[in-house]
Amino acid sequence: MSHKPDPFEMEFTPELVVRAYQAGIFPMSESASDPDVFWVSPERRGIMPLDGFKTSKSLRKTLKNHPYTIKTDTDFDQIIHACANYGTDRESTWINPTIVDVYGKLFDSKICHTVEIWDGNELVGGLYGLAIGAAFFGESMFHRKTNTSKIALAHLVKRLQVGQFLLLDTQFISPHLKTLGAIEIPRSEYEKLLHNALLEDGDFYRLSGGGTSDDVLQSTSHTS
């Protein structure tokens, strides 16, 4: 990973964030308590091929039979604060109040989106990210019950397939994402994929609701 100096000598704003993603750069903070933001452009970028999301036998069973309700774009505040909390999918967080504020404005302008997993009135998992052109930039996800972040990611993949997206950027790749089909590619290859995706228009809302369990299963590949 390479930390880059601020390529835009201006205030951290929603417009700046969009320009940065279009240039293959994304913001982070050292910690939730650090008010500063720095820019990152990894030498190797994590992506999830939209035709390569993998599910184990147990996860396929979960996707088919889970009791949860899938929603999109109904509660950004709960999603981002859950992602920022310690003790979800990570021991620390890079989501500081500056990021929360700016991504909230991006949500209001329908650039930032959420996939939410609800158990009745309780939010138990989900993710958020940015849709620009036919590229979706995954930011963070969390779970409060087993497999709920995986359910959210599976539904995101289906939604992006239906909406004719070309790129799902995961920024980095973790062992967890690798088991689901994420791969690393060189920065130069990523920039070509990004360029092509930004020339098209994806439709995040083309898939109505959360999609059926059968729809989601048909969009995945099976692993043992």
The answer to whether residue 152 is domain-embedded is yes
The answer to whether residue 158 is domain-embedded is yes
Rounded Cα distance between 190 and 20, Å, is 14
The answer to whether residue 56 is domain-embedded is yes
Q: Tell me how many domains the chain contains.
A: 1
Q: Is a pLDDT exceeding 50 seen at residue 82? A: yes
C-beta atoms surrounding 53 within 10 Å: 23
- Name the percent of the chain lying above pLDDT 70: 85
pLDDT at 92: 54
Q: Which of 82, 68, 222, 70 has its CA nearest to residue 140?
A: 82
Please write the tens of the pLDDT for every residue from 105-131: 999 999 999 999 999 999 999 999 999
The answer to whether residue 4 is domain-embedded is no
Rounded Cα distance between 107 and 77, Å, is 10
Task: Specify the higher pLDDT residue, 8 or 185.
Answer: 185
The answer to whether residue 161 is domain-embedded is yes
- The CATH number of the domain holding residue 190 is 3.40.630.70
The answer to whether residue 196 is domain-embedded is yes
The answer to whether residue 25 is domain-embedded is no
C-alpha distances (whole Å) from 111 to each of 7, 103, 114, 189 are 22, 9, 10, 24
Identify the domain containing residue 148 by its residue range. Answer: 44-222
The answer to whether residue 17 is domain-embedded is no
Please write the tens of the pLDDT for every residue from 205-223: 999 765 555 566 565 555 5
DSSP state of 5: P
